Amino acid sequence: MTTLHSNGRKTVGVLALQGDFREHREMLERMGHEVREVRKPAQLEGLDALIIPGGESTTIARLILSNGFQQPLRDFCDSGRPVWGTCAGAILLARNVDRLDRPGIEMMDISVRRNAFGRQVDSFEAALDVKGIEGEPFHAVFIRAPQIEEVRAPAEAIATLPDGTVVAAREGNLLATSFHPELTGDTRLHELFLTIGRNGHE
């Protein structure tokens, strides 16, 4: 586990409307970062980066709209600071989603299908090669996960299952993963995430 020196310490927000925001917070704190649970749009101010956690995408979408978060989150994505959606968070970042009853944030040029692995494989694990991550494969945990069915430039796929299914994509300062890196001890994806900002927001 990496512990950063004070000069590498960032203030990272985790959207805390619903879902597994605590697990992200704990991992980021173990890495030496300051973490803010974000429940109101004003709390986005002053953050270096933002995570949209896993959970139930329909519930989080509803709470995004009812708390006036949609435009502030779009503006945050536009600001060049890193934004990462894990699982339900990836669904919310996608421009196209099947069966989401209201709009999410819709900022990444990807199409996502919810619960796409079917009932029999509600949850599974896989070893992934992720573009930008060195060393051994990344151990990925999938829980009622979405598939990234289409990735349109400038978005690019950065991890696939052996059958070619895309499970992670990046578009500039935006990152989407179908799986849950906050549930394992491996901090490499959280580290990568904090480097993907643009315009001096790395």
Is 77 marked active-site? no
Q: Does 160 bind ligand GLN (CB under 6 A)?
A: no
Considering beta carbons, is residue 159 or 197 the nearer one to ligand GLN?
159
Residue selected from 24, 25, 33, 114 as contacting ligand GLN according to rule CB under 6 A: 114
Closer to ligand GLN at the Cβ: 87 or 108?
87
**Is 87 an interacting residue with respect to ligand GLN (CB under 6 A)?**
yes
Minimum CB–partner distance for residue 109 and ligand GLN (Å)? 20
Strands 83-86, 123-128: pairing is: unpaired
In the residue annotation, 180 being an active-site residue is answered as: yes
Told to check if 155 binds ligand GLN by CB under 6 A, we report: no
**58 vs 79 by CB, closer to ligand GLN:** 58
Q: Is 55 in the site for ligand GLN (CB under 6 A)?
A: yes
Look at phi and psi of residue 19 and say left if phi exceeds 0, alpha if psi is from -120 to 50, else beta: left
- Three-state SS string across the chain, please? CCCCCHHHCCEEEEECCCCCHHHHHHHHHHCCCEEEEECCHHHHCCCCEEEECCCCHHHHHHHHHHCCCHHHHHHHHHCCCCEEEECHHHHHHEEEECCCCCCCCCCEEEEEECCCCCHHHCEEEEEECCCCCCCCCEEEEEECCCEEEEECCCCEEEEECCCCCEEEEEECCEEEECCCHHHCCCCHHHHHHCCCCCCCCC
Sign of CA dihedral 43, 49, 55, 57: positive
Contact residue for ligand GLN among 54, 85, 181, 197 (CB under 6 A) = 54
Binding segment (CB under 6 A) for ligand GLN, from list 49-57, 127-135, 148-156, 163-171? 49-57
User: Between 76 and 142, whose beta carbon lies closer to ligand GLN?
Assistant: 142
Closest CB to ligand GLN among residues 142, 197: 142
Stretch of 23-31, 50-58, 152-160, 190-198 lying at the interface with ligand GLN (CB under 6 A): 50-58
Q: Which residues are near ligand GLN by CB under 6 A?
A: 54-57, 87-88, 91, 114-115, 143-144
* Catalytic residue set: 87, 180, 182
